[in-house]
Chain A
Amino acid sequence: GQNIDQPTEMTATEGAIVQINCTYQTSGFNGLFWYQQHAGEAPTFLSYNVLDGLEEKGRFSSFLSRSKGYSYLLLKELQMKDSASYLCVVLDSNYQLIWGAGTKLIIKP
């Protein structure tokens, strides 16, 4: 079967760094997305990885290891507005989206 695992909830302090991990087992692989979603809103695209390695974009970075079926989203200099759910999504060989359940990130002052 197809499966995406990520922690249900994480807590971090404002100004700190947090890493959200995601492991996946899917039928083929056409890329991995990270999305941010605030309550009541549509998800917002953060990153897309299809090759191994680290992609840095401002305070957010995303890493992928295809051989390990593993990715992480790194958030630096955390701000209160970063409190949201972070969704790990894999595009399989049929371009079907396989969604993780999301990680709720709570930022404390």
Chain B
Amino acid sequence: GAVVSQHPSRVICKSGTSVKIECRSLDFQATTMFWYRQFPKQSLMLMATSNEGSKATYEQGVEKDKFLINHASLTLSTLTVTSAHPEDSSFYICSAALRQGSDNSPLHFGNGTRLTVT
């Protein structure tokens, strides 16, 4: 079945540095990728939706200058957490969807990245 690879699975960084998280669709072309953040004991919160070749659409309250999303190809989207702070420590998850006319394919999730900012 379709697989989404997310890397790294865990990262620890110092406050003020930037961290890049990659999300790759391995055997299908993902026209749309979604980035989520999960706080402890809470549901996944959609951060942004990215469509290949265009700017990401950010959800209300998400700082686009802090969470940079690039979807340069149909198989790769990246999320860069810039100038990370301890409050950015969280579990970040990407998912990918093949959007093709009326074909509503299920979402395929990456395994997530646990970010710890010290």
Contacts and interface: CB of A to CB of B under 8 A. Distances in A.
Interface of A: 30-31, 33, 40-45, 48, 50, 85, 87, 89, 91, 95-97, 99-102
Contacts of B112: 41-42
A100 B93 CA distance: 17
A97 B104 contact: no
Contacts of B44: 43, 87, 99
A84 to B, nearest CB: 13
B43 A87 contact: yes
Given A42-B109, A50-B104, A95-B99, A101 B43 contact: yes
B34 interface: yes
Contacts of B104: 30-31, 48, 50, 91
B106 A33 contact: yes
A96 B57 CA distance: 10
A96 B32 CA distance: 10
Closest 8 CB pairs of A and B: A31-B104, A42-B109, A42-B112, A102-B43, A48-B106, A101-B43, A45-B106, A42-B93
A42 B110 contact: yes
Contacts of B110: 42
